[in-house]
Amino acid sequence: MPPVRPRPGRERPARRTLSREAIADAAMAILEREGLDALTMRGVAAALGTGPASLYAHVEDKEDLISICVDRAVAEVEMPEPDPARWQEQVKAYARSMREVLVRHGNLARATMGMIPTGPGALASVEWLLGLLREAGLPDRVIAYAADLLPLYVSAVAFEEGLWAAGTPEEMEAYVGAIREHFAGLPAERYPHLVAMVPELMRVEGDERFEFGLDVIVAGIAALAAK
Amino acid sequence: MPPVRPRPGRERPARRTLSREAIADAAMAILEREGLDALTMRGVAAALGTGPASLYAHVEDKEDLISICVDRAVAEVEMPEPDPARWQEQVKAYARSMREVLVRHGNLARATMGMIPTGPGALASVEWLLGLLREAGLPDRVIAYAADLLPLYVSAVAFEEGLWAAGTPEEMEAYVGAIREHFAGLPAERYPHLVAMVPELMRVEGDERFEFGLDVIVAGIAALAAK
DNA sequence: ACCTGAACACCGTTCAAGT
DNA sequence: ACCTGAACACCGTTCAAGT
């Protein structure tokens, strides 16, 4: 009669098997907590209790891993039932949701720029936007360029906002103060327009800034579509 | 009578003294030849025949060095005599020139984004744009946001174009081909709008794309200014 | 097939020491 | 004050070896 043994291979708790999904989960957690700059292959591996080399059995390289994260994030963008009569408002709501998602995921925006989306999340997102604009009756050529311009704008804004959010609030405060002083001290004879505009420029604020660009772009698309 | 000596301290050719300017020159040369990714403190130092530590006597850090390069590049943007009656066309010409400058300097665009300009080159550029829009009679608030939106758009486009230009033309060709095939193979029942739009989306081309966005933004600014 | 330790070829920046 | 060699604390990725 064989001696009683603890269940075979269970002397220590089984290591969670690595997988594309588990790696992406760990990466997303780091992104949300610390942002894109803190996302390293070594960090992801450490979070999974292994070494960086182990990741390469499931993931092509760091770029590949980031593209998985981007696709997951983009899938979170809200896509309400298209209502062609309200396409301008729906396009804006879509852009607002995308901005929120990109900022929340530790400035993934830097990665979305220049990326041609091929993952299911991004494809569903593009499909939604194209559908809305087509049902609204915009010309195909305008739709093609608009569907390219809109995410570009949102990504650019989110990218910048991610950079600014990198520092602590105190550093941020100090930086803005230094900028303000620098601009206030400029010679009016050399930069008359700039000096005259300093108060107005200093009033520029994140949300309003985003909404202004959105207004401009949606109004511009509507104008070009009507031509 | 003292022996004839070669000029004092000239036994070897004198090392070119380091300076902020010399360091920036070397950095700009690397940028134009190899792009932003290839710009390293070690590379700049090597080009100047010294070690990386030597740079830190003249330059705060890498970010500081890049900001010098950005300012130099922005100073190259064309700024014709403002003609308020033609402000829309002049804004577009300004944007085209900025795009060209950013792309030519090895994708400096990634660095201009999120940067509040304080150097003389950037200030002159902002001053010009503000002056044009003020003389054109746009409302101050629209000017403030427009002067922010326009460089953001140009930088975003240049940033993406810099990414695409990173590979060789053959790699580029292969990548576009793969994308085309991927999109052509998508199930029409899952992505009806996307599949229907593939031919139109594939016709999207760099210059036309940039011009479309420019048209949209300038038309949008004009529309908001008229309200 | 999957996982691993160790190593390779890089980074930006700091520091003590020189001149 | 300026410059330097060496070192520190990181990277992404590869590779031979294990299972």
The alpha-carbon gap from A48 to the nearest alpha carbon of chain B, in Å, equals 30
Q: Name the residue facing B130 among A126, A197, A218 (closest C-beta).
A: A197
Rounded CA-CA distance B140/B121 in Å is 23
CA–CA separation, A147 and A219 (whole Å): 14
Closest CA to A149 of B147, B220, B148: B220
* Chain A residues inside the 8 Å CB shell of B145: 204, 208-209, 212-213
The Cα B41–Cα A222 span in angstroms is 47
Helices (H), chain A: 20-34, 41-47, 62-74, 87-104, 109-112, 120-135, 140-164, 169-184, 192-202, 206-226
Q: d(Cα B37, Cα B166) in Å, to the nearest integer?
A: 9
3-state secondary structure of B169: helix
Q: Distance between terminal CA atoms of chain A?
A: 90
Chain D bases near protein Cβ (<7 Å): 1-7, 10-16
Give nucleotides in strand C with any atom < 7 A to a protein C-beta: 1-7, 10-16
pLDDT at B16: 55
Mutation site, A66, A128, A200, A221, interface B, largest B CB count within 10 A: A200
The nt closest to B57 (CA vs C1′) is D2
Task: Name, in order, each residue with C-beta under 8 angstroms of B120's C-beta and a sequence gap of 6 or more.
Answer: B71, B75
For residue range B11-23, list pLDDT tens digits in order.
233 345 799 999 9
Is there a contact between B221 and A217 if contact means CB atoms under 8 Å apart?
Answer: no
CB-CB contact of B156 with B113 (8 Å) = yes
3-class state of residue B187 by DSSP: coil
For residue A123, pLDDT over 50 is answered with yes
pLDDT of residue A81: 92
The two tokens of residue A109 are 């925006």
Which residues, in sequence order, are CB contacts of B150 under 8 Å at separation 6+?
Answer: B91, B94, B95, B129, B217
Asked if the Cβ–Cβ distance from A193 to B157 is below 8 Å, we say no
Beta carbons of B97 and B158 less than 8 angstroms apart: no
For residue range A23-74, what is the model confidence (pLDDT) as tens digits?
999 999 999 999 999 999 999 999 999 999 999 999 999 999 999 999 999 9
pLDDT at position A76 = 96
Type of residue found at A213: G
Mean pLDDT, residues A127-149: 97
B205 touches chain A (CB under 8 A): no
Where residue B137 falls (left for φ over 0; alpha for ψ -120 to 50; beta otherwise) is: left
pLDDT of residue B173: 82
Lookup: tokens for A25: 């989960």
The Cα B88–Cα B150 span in angstroms is 12
- How far is A122 from chain B, CA to nearest CA, in Å? 11
DSSP-derived 3-state class of residue B117: coil
Separation of B42 CA and C9 C1' (Å) = 14
Give the CA dihedral A32, A38, A43, A44, nearest 10 degrees. 40
Ranges of chain B with pLDDT below 50:
1-15
Check residues 114 to 173 of chain A and report those whose beta carbon is under 7 Å from nucleic acid strand D: none
Containing H/E element for B200?
helix B192-202
Single pTM value for the model: 0.90
Q: What is the pLDDT of residues B135-148, one digit of tens each?
A: 999 999 999 999 99
Report CA torsion sign: A49, A54, A60, A62: positive
Provide DSSP, A12-45: SPPPPPP-HHHHHHHHHHHHHHH-GGG--HHHHH
Supply the pLDDT for residue A32. Answer: 92
* CB pairs < 8 Å spanning A and B: 153
Tokens, residue B182: 């991927």
Q: Does A16 touch chain B (CB under 8 A)?
A: no
Share of chain A above pLDDT 70, in %: 92
Query: Across residues A156-185, what is the average pLDDT?
Result: 83
Please indicate whether, in this complex, the C-beta atoms of B143 and A200 are within 8 angstroms of each other: yes
Is it the case that residue A16 has pLDDT exceeding 70?
A: no
Q: Is A14 left (phi over 0), alpha (psi -120 to 50) or beta?
A: beta
Please name the residues in contact with B79: beta carbons below 8 A apart, sequence gap of 6 or more.
Answer: B94, B124, B125, B128
Of A172 and A53, the one with more pLDDT: A53
- Amino acid residing at A111: A
Rounded CA gap, B27 and B33, in Å? 10
Name residues 115-144 of chain A within 8 A of B (Cβ): 116, 118, 123, 126-127, 130-131, 134, 140-141, 143-144
For A9 and C7, how far is CA from C1' in angstroms?
Answer: 31
Nearest Cα neighbor of B65 from B99, B98, B37, B28 is: B28
Q: Is B118 exposed, middle or buried (0-12, 13-18, 19+ CB in 10 A)?
A: middle
CA-CA-CA-CA torsion for B144, B145, B148, B151, nearest 10 degrees?
A: -110
Q: Which chain A residue lies closest to B109 (C-alpha atoms)?
A: A156
From the CA of B38, how many Å to the C1' of C9? 15
**For all residues of chain A together, what is the average pLDDT?**
89
Nucleotide showing the shortest C1' distance to residue A15 CA: C3
